[in-house]
Amino acid sequence: MGDVFDPNRGEVQARVVLGDRSVLDRAIAHARAAQPAWAALNPQRRARVLFRFKELVEAQMDELAHLLSSEHGKVIADARGDIQRGLEVVEFACGIPHALKGEYTQGAGPGIDVFSMRQPIGIGAGITPFNFPAMIPMWMFAVATAVGNAFILKPSERDPSVPVRLAELFLEAGAPEGVLQVVHGDREMVEAILDHPDIAAVSFVGSSDIAHEVYRRGAAAGKRVQAMGGAKNHGIVMPDADLDQVVNDLTGAAFGSAGERCMALPVVVPVGEETAERLRARLIPAIEALRVGVSTDANAHYGPVVSSEHKARVEGWIAKSAEEGAEIVVDGRGLVLQGHEGGWFVGPTLIDRVTPEMRSYHEEIFGPVLQIVRAQTFEEAVALPSRHQYGNGVAIFTRNGHAAREFASRVDVGMVGINVPIPVPVAYHSFGGWKRSAFGDANQHGMEGVRFWTRVKTVTQRWPDGSGGATGHDAFVIPTMG
């Protein structure tokens, strides 16, 4: 059994039964039974299930948002955003009849036509993190099921209720039993998924060390694997940037959802000392004005972090920054809310004079902490995110089109924002970082997702006209289209 906490109070509010390999075996058996008939449905009929699912989720948005918020701790408005971003991938998947169209060549050779088709891989699995309990599962299962697969979801045991509810709504929308299933568990369940011979592909989102192990173990078992890891996203601020807009964007991107986002913006890189001083002067009052509250507080900018261990970890990184010689400008440690003294709250923190040699810069903090790393030149600003171990997202703030174009072209990072602080691509493009932020060759959702969850079959056909084909020695020569 696992405890499910209310992060606002630090109290157990529910318990979840953690499954073992036998639970996975039963889920696999149901998936095997359901998948062939599901795949045999024409894509329009599968899309209709997704349309109905989308309508059901929208009708229960408030209920789902409150449920999500109660277990994760993010404020209600942010919880709605979590669900909505997942629904946008569902909307993309509703167009699966178009996305599954193959290629066709008439007359590739004498009387020969060639065409390709995309077919489901069979059974896929998703292992999802605590920080987006609605969005990331929908990123995975919407596309995976739309193309004709059965799907087994293993959500975080910290906030499992919304994934379960989504699966119930998917069933209510008309999906056959066994097409989408949820299993709960810890490391034992993850290892069982990675080792099971009937699971053809695994999608994972979590920390980089675990992502690397998931990729290694899954690939060794002959599976397709996409494993998204950690991040340390940078925001480059050029001297010509609109600092009022930058401060507004930074406070939301660094502190929204208590910084528990792989696309948060925890590092700001002002170019030039004058830019750094002007930015710092504006950031301090903006950060001090942020309101930390319980997740149901409509006026709160963000709520608690997910666990007492994570609160201690974030505050430990703040202390580590000071030990390394950085300047704690705004200190969020020790925050206690009256009436919620047991809650896991961390105040917004601003740290200046951070350097690339510091471990607190090198590692992912994953909390409401913004670090200032000063760069003297544009070249230095490009080099900082390019040399970092993570390569998930990056942003540049500037009015100079040439600088923005150069930066986007040269920076060694997978997703780039130009005056956009959190450059998460829209659903019909794909999401994925570089370096230790992603392992595997395929990104999440968009056409990359369609390709990941399908296999290509290419057919070369000829309809004889009765005149006969190659004879004698010609029949033993590799055919060509010349």
Residues composing the chain = 482
Strands 390-391 and 434-435, by their bridges, are: antiparallel
Catalytic annotation, pick one of 138, 180, 262, 382: 262
Active site residue 262: yes
Angle at alpha carbon of residue 128, lines to 370 and 203, rounded to 5°: 115
CA distance 231 to 391: 7
Helix (H), strand (E), coil (C) string for the chain: CEEEEECCCCEEEEEECCCCHHHHHHHHHHHHHHHHHHHHCCHHHHHHHHHHHHHHHHHCHHHHHHHHHHHHCCCHHHHHHHHHHHHHHHHHHCCHHHHCCCCEEEEEECCEEEEEEEEECCEEEEECCCCCCCHHHHHHHHHHHHCCCEEEEECCCCCCHHHHHHHHHHHHCCCCCCCEEECCCCHHHHHHHHHCCCCCEEEEECCHHHHHHHHHHHHHCCCEEEEECCCCCEEEECCCCCHHHHHHHHHHHHHHHHHCCCCCCCEEEEECHHHHHHHHHHHHHHHHCCCECCCCCCCCCECCCCCHHHHHHHHHHHHHHHHCCCEEEECCCCCCECCECCCCCCCCEEEECCCCCCHHHHCCCCCCEEEECCECCHHHHHHHHHHCCEECEEEEECCCHHHHHHHHHHCCCCEEEECCCCCCCCCCCCECCEECCEECCCCECHHHHHHHCEEEEEEEEECCCCCCCCCHHHHHCCCCCC
Inter-axis angle of helices 135-146 and 43-59, nearest 10: 160
Q: How far is CA 230 from CA 156, 409, 416, 434, in A?
A: 16, 23, 16, 10
Q: How far is residue 69's CA from residue 8's CA, in Å, rounded to a whole number?
A: 10
Buried-state track 251-267, b at ≥16 Cβ within 10 A, e below 16: bbbbbbbbbbbbbbbbb
**Active centre residues (catalytic):** 262
